Amino acid sequence: MIWLLAPVFNESENVSALIKSVSLQHTKGLPFAWIVVDDGSKDATVQTARQNLHDEDVIIELHNNRGPGKAFEAGMHYFLEYAKKDDLLLTLEGDGTADLESLAEMLHVKHEKNADLVLASVYLQGGGFSRTSALRLLISHAANALSRFWLGMPYRTLTSFYRLWTFSALERLHKVYQPLIDSPGFICQVELLYKSHLLQQQIFEVPTRVYSERRKGNSKMKLIKTALSHIQFLLQSRKYRK
């Protein structure tokens, strides 16, 4: 089974399309279930999600806005508690901008390479952005380049939410690192990837595209706050070396 984990915050305009965008053809006939983690939305996100979810799906309500890191941690703990050893976890952006056509290649790489983690990368050949501002693109390039250099990681995209995890990879991370995720903000994905890299897990990438025009409303990422948290994380990253 594939579990799909998406953190959402005030995504009432997007959550319905996000849930409906997944079908059995995208998961190669594998059964799937949603873990939607609401991070204290003040709009109708929870109600809209419930209207589109099925009995096997779950919505976790955090009530207070704590950031995507805490939302991912809550969803991953649920996955580790209720999933089976051969289940997979696909993490996604809550705004529906990810290209689910990339999932078939992610599943192929996972099985062919016996991967622990497969990253969907906009910076590999064949990937990219369908539309984004020059400022966001510049910040994304700079953040990824700085993190690769500082942390010694070879992967092209370090900040994307769009990833395919095995149960065993997350289980090992959870055993070594408590808490599983320290960073509450968007830098949480760099933190998780770095921890996985330090544990020498098998990590591979496939190209993907981000379709920003699918998003209704504004991005929840605050550029200055995210940039500052990125620098803070890099300065404190030594503590993760076991």
| Domains of the chain: residue spans and CATH | 2-240 (3.90.550.10)
User: pLDDT digit of tens for each residue in the chain (242 aa)?
Assistant: 999 999 999 999 999 989 988 764 555 677 899 999 999 999 999 999 999 999 989 999 998 999 999 999 999 999 999 999 999 999 999 888 888 889 999 999 999 999 999 999 998 888 877 766 666 677 777 778 888 999 999 999 998 999 999 999 999 999 999 999 999 988 999 999 999 999 999 999 999 998 877 767 665 556 667 777 778 888 899 899 87
Residue 218: the pLDDT is: 62
What Å distances lie between residue 157 and 33, 79, 124, 145, 164, CA to CA?
Answer: 26, 24, 8, 9, 14
What Å distances lie between residue 226 and 10, 37, 48, 75, 236, CA to CA?
Answer: 18, 21, 28, 22, 15
Residue 211: the pLDDT is: 84
Task: Give bridge partners of residue 89 from the DSSP assignment.
Answer: 3, 165
Residue 229: the pLDDT is: 79
Residue 20: the pLDDT is: 86
- Model-level pTM? 0.91
How many angstroms separate the CA atoms of 32 and 47, rounded? 21
Count other C-beta atoms under 10 Å from residue 108's C-beta.
13
Residue 95: the pLDDT is: 85
